[in-house]
Structure 1
Amino acid sequence: MTTRAARFAASYALLRMAADLGDHWIQSDHQAVTKGQHDENEGQSSRAGRIACTAHVASYTATQGVVLLAGARALGLHLKPSRVVTALALSAGTHWWADRRVHLKAVAEATGKGNFYNLGGPLGGNYALDQAFHHAMETIAAAIAASK
């Protein structure tokens, strides 16, 4: 029998590893470039952005689900299916919300992080804040998955 702390630690490690795979290896280039598009951006389609983001989040969540279930089985974690579904739903919903970009940008601006969000470069502020948000949500998801 595993403790809740052990289930949490293992669930978090599995979700985090799967998130990196889903965000950086499995996500297509098209999805990465298009998922944040909004009509107010010149020449960009909000519909195309929603479709790309939804496709990305579907593959991202599937990756997390496969890794979490396989890892839990291999480690003998005995996670409750209903908790796993709830954890993955939280991860998926918050991931979609953040990856549409406009919402996370608004939060950054409201909390005084607008300048940091707008830093350029491949690992600029928007990427750092995006990843920090995802890590926080995965922590909550892991706690949900680990509970009995």
Structure 2
Amino acid sequence: MNSQAAAVFAAAFVSLYVARSVGDHWVQSSRQSANKGRPGWVGRLAAAQHVATLTATKLAVLLPAVWLLDLQVSVTGLVLGLGIDAVTHWWADRRSTLAWLAKVTGKGEFYRLGAPRAGMGDNPSLGTGAYALDQSFHHLWLLVAALVIAAV
């Protein structure tokens, strides 16, 4: 990998990482957050709307970095990288899919850590195993997206 590609990778990853946090926590609507894991079309549509605003946020952060740093990025690399990120983000945010992955990889108990218990009046929080695995999954795919953006 040449130094230009390495610079694109570093700038893309940092930009995508920051934008993902902003898009997930500031831009995502409460309705999208509450419904994206629901079964059927209500959940699918809420997840798609979330991913659309999230991807727009990522572009809004990434493009100025590319321009200001005078980085060579192809449209194909951007489309592929952001497309991979969008598809994997949608998949994980459907919740049952990530719960399934946690179960088959032996992380089911960790996934349920901190989750509300039936009849106990517990409140969900960001301190759950599900949230930690969700964030880790997204970080992995941000890395892949940045590599694609840099390499294509």
TM over 0.5: yes
Consecutive unaligned residues in structure 1, runs of 5 or more? 39-45
How far did 1:68 drift?
1.1
**Any idea what SS the aligned residue of 1:36 has?**
coil
In the alignment, does 2:80 pair up with 1:79? no
- Partner Cα distance (1:27, 1:2) in 2: 35
Match of 2:5 in 1: 4
How far did 1:30 drift?
0.9
Match of 1:59 in 2: 53
How far did 1:48 drift?
1.1
Taking only aligned residues, the RMSD between alpha carbons, in angstroms, comes to 1.3
Q: Contact between 2:9 and 2:149, CA under 8 Å: does it hold in 1? A: yes
1:109 pairs, out of 103, 115, 120, with: 103
- Partner Cα distance (2:5, 2:112) in 1: 39
How far did 1:2 drift?
5.3
Map 1:6-85 to 2 at 5 A.
6-38=7-39, 46-85=40-79
Match of 1:43 in 2: none
Runs of 4+ in 1 over 2 A off after TM superposition: none
1:128 pairs, out of 104, 127, 132, with: 132
Cα deviation per residue 1:64-105 (whole Å; 9 max; x = unaligned)? 112111111111112111101100100100000000011111
In the alignment, does 2:111 pair up with 1:145? no
Q: Contact between 1:2 and 1:77, CA under 8 Å: does it hold in 2? A: no
Structure-1-length-normalised TM-score: 0.91
- Partner Cα distance (2:140, 2:146) in 1: 10
Match of 1:41 in 2: none
- Partner Cα distance (1:115, 1:3) in 2: 43
* Overall identity of the aligned pairs, in %: 45
- Partner Cα distance (1:66, 1:29) in 2: 21
- Partner Cα distance (1:14, 1:88) in 2: 12
- Partner Cα distance (1:125, 1:26) in 2: 23
The one-letter amino acid paired with 1:19 is R
Match of 1:96 in 2: 90
Q: Contact between 2:4 and 2:72, CA under 8 Å: does it hold in 1? A: no
Structure-2-length-normalised TM-score: 0.89
Q: Contact between 2:77 and 2:148, CA under 8 Å: does it hold in 1? A: yes
Distance 1:2 1:75, change over 3 A: farther
